A and B are shown apart, each in its own frame.
Chain A
Amino acid sequence: MTTPEPEFERLVLEHLDGLYNLARWLTRNMDEAQDLVQETALKALKARDQFRGGTTLTAWLYRILRNSFIDRYWKRQREPSGQEGDLPGVLGELEQALEETEIEHLRPLVAADINRALKALPEQWRTTVLLAEVEGLTWEEVAEVMGCPLGTVQSRIFRARRVLRQLLKDYAPEGKGEE
């Protein structure tokens, strides 16, 4: 049964903070993030009949947002003045772990900053970690958002954590981060 429209609107608005947070991480731009969230909300409302059990509304909304972001990215690529931007994950080389030399190169830039370390990850790893570790989605929900098997999510989380640890390792001051 389809959720009544006012109730559905309320549910979508309840997810606004999480959607905006992911949009900011994806776009790295406040205005673009707002547009992306707005586009997501409108698409969700329009397609609410397609929302079915078997997935959570949270995962469904995040998936719409990420797909919208990827669409925008590809559209920008097709424009004559389009720039590469920062979406290495969508371009397909992501399934390889970062090379040791890259990590060595990135380390001084990242220093002890977890945010910079996260930004240094390929998009698919970064989004997976953000959804699972920061937004608190289950691994099954993350798989739904990313449109990949659960095993891929597990593998990405495992490898992303490895790389994050390596990036942060030599720069973490004694006791920093320990509560």
Chain B
Amino acid sequence: MVTCHACQEHIPRLLRGILSPALVAELGSHLGGCEACQMELAEEQALSRRLRDVARYPSPAHLRARIAQQLEGRTWTGIPRLVTWRWLAASAVVLLAVAASALVLTRRDPLRTFIPEATRNHREMVMQHELFGFPDVGPWGSAELPRLLSERLGLPVTSLFLGDSELVLMAARPLLVRDRKGMVLLYADRHGWVSSLLLVSAPDIEVPKGSRLQFGTFRPYHTQTDSLRVLVWKQEEMACFLVAQAGDQQLADLFLKIRRAM
């Protein structure tokens, strides 16, 4: 029997998706009949959403160049004393080129921005699903999803994995991720394990070349946060984030099923 005190203490962990399914079920049962704890959960969810608005300070473009230079063993000494205007002009061109490339490199890194968003959305969707369930994937039904994604959200989607006997599409929710339009799809297998697929417009983002896994002919980027595994790949100007709590084989099966349908 979960008390209100215990329930409210668990809510931050619940929001983070790091509780066992058994405890989530217990909390769900308590929350279903306790208005005070429901209010606590709603307030904590609202705070989590507001924490997404916390300012992020992007690193200045020249900082990367400055540090890279130091790491290579060259000490930054500023402008030499015996400087000529020609030398200065040439140096300015080089520095601008370095700064521009550093800026591009900075913007290429999706890890610090989109992956936490993908896992956070995953946790929220899973929690919502476990606590309240989902009626369906929208008034148009799942078959209309690719067209909606393409026409309404401008995402380059012509087809999607819409479920089979093993894996069911449970829900679809449009959302804004860092001011970009996107959609998160929630899938559940017959054992109740839930995974999510976040699709978001990201023309300026490149997936890092390292940390790739080979699944069939595909090589998605792979990372892990808490117990969640995240696969990232690009399709035209759309970035795809598959989030799941799965072992190697489960993850491979899940990815191939979803990726091959797209």
B226 close to chain A: CB less than 8 A: yes
Residues of A within 8 A of B18 (CB): 139
Q: How far is the CA of A9 from the CA of B112 in the complex (A)?
A: 18
Q: How far is the CA of A21 from the CA of B66 in the complex (A)?
A: 17
Pick from A17, A45, A133 the residue with the most CB of B within 10 Å: A17
Would you call B70 and A157 a contact (CB within 8 A)?
no
Residues of B within 8 A of A165 (CB): 43-44, 47
B187 to chain A, nearest CB (A): 22
Q: How far is the CA of A75 from the CA of B57 in the complex (A)?
A: 26
B46 close to chain A: CB less than 8 A: yes
Residues of B within 8 A of A178 (CB): 46, 49
Would you call A16 and B63 a contact (CB within 8 A)?
yes
Q: Please judge, given known A-B contacts A17-B59, A24-B57, A114-B54, whether A9 and B106 are in contact too, CB under 8 Å.
A: no
The interface bits of chain B over 1-36 (1 if a CB of A lies within 8 angstroms of the residue's CB, else 0) are 000000001001100101000000000000000000
Residues of A within 8 A of B12 (CB): 154, 157-158, 161
B71 close to chain A: CB less than 8 A: yes
A129 close to chain B: CB less than 8 A: yes
A69 to chain B, nearest CB (A): 15
Would you call B225 and A136 a contact (CB within 8 A)?
yes
Would you call B48 and A21 a contact (CB within 8 A)?
no
Q: Of A30-38, A83-91, A96-104, which binds chain B?
A: A30-38
**Within the complex, which residue of A21, A118, A168 is in contact with B56, where a contact is CB–CB below 8 Å?**
A21
**Within the complex, which residue of A25, A115, A118, A177 is in contact with B49, where a contact is CB–CB below 8 Å?**
A177
Q: Give the size category of A's interface with B.
A: 35 or more
Chain A 18-75 interface residues, beta-carbon cutoff 8 Å to B: 18-21, 24-25, 30, 33-34, 37-38, 41-42, 45
A136 to chain B, nearest CB (A): 3
The interface bits of chain B over 55-73 (1 if a CB of A lies within 8 angstroms of the residue's CB, else 0) are 1111110011011101110
**Within the complex, which residue of A38, A133, A135 is in contact with B70, where a contact is CB–CB below 8 Å?**
A38
Residues of B within 8 A of A130 (CB): 54
Q: How far is the CA of A18 from the CA of B64 in the complex (A)?
A: 12
Residues of A within 8 A of B115 (CB): 136
* Interface class of chain B by DSSP: helix
A109 close to chain B: CB less than 8 A: no
Q: Kindly report which residue of chain B lies nearest to residue A8, judged by CB atoms.
A: B71
Residues of A within 8 A of B43 (CB): 165
**Within the complex, which residue of A38, A134, A135, A158 is in contact with B63, where a contact is CB–CB below 8 Å?**
A38
Q: Kindly report which residue of chain B lies nearest to residue A11, judged by CB atoms.
A: B210
Q: How far is the CA of A99 from the CA of B86 in the complex (A)?
A: 62
A125 to chain B, nearest CB (A): 13
Q: How far is the CA of A130 from the CA of B116 in the complex (A)?
A: 12
Would you call B57 and A134 a contact (CB within 8 A)?
no
Residues of A within 8 A of B55 (CB): 115
B176 close to chain A: CB less than 8 A: yes
Residues of A within 8 A of B54 (CB): 114-115, 118, 130, 133-134
A111 close to chain B: CB less than 8 A: no
B124 to chain A, nearest CB (A): 10
Would you call B63 and A34 a contact (CB within 8 A)?
yes
A14 close to chain B: CB less than 8 A: yes
Q: How far is the CA of A21 from the CA of B43 in the complex (A)?
A: 27
Would you call B176 and A20 a contact (CB within 8 A)?
no
B50 close to chain A: CB less than 8 A: yes
Interchain Cβ contacts under 8 Å between A and B, 24 examples: A13-B68, A16-B64, A16-B67, A17-B106, A20-B57, A34-B63, A38-B67, A38-B70, A45-B71, A114-B51, A114-B53, A118-B54, A129-B51, A134-B116, A135-B112, A138-B225, A139-B18, A158-B9, A161-B44, A161-B47, A168-B47, A177-B46, A177-B50, A177-B53
